[in-house]
Amino acid sequence: MLAEVLQLYRFTAEELVMAVNAIKAGDLEQAKAAATAVRDLKSAYFLVMDERGKVEKLRKQVAGAVGTGSLDLSAARDEIGRRLALLRDAGAG
Residues 19/37, Cβ–Cβ less than 8 Å: yes
Greater model confidence, 29 or 93:
29
Whether pLDDT at 10 is above 80: yes
pLDDT at residue number 51: 83
pLDDT of residue 68: 55
Q: pLDDT tens digits, residue range 29-84?
A: 888 888 888 888 788 788 878 888 888 888 888 877 555 567 788 888 989 988 88
Please give the Cα distance from 62 to 45 (Å, whole number). Answer: 26
Q: How confident is the model at residue 1 (pLDDT cuts 50, 70, 90)?
A: low
Q: Are 49 and 2 in contact (CB under 8 A)?
A: no
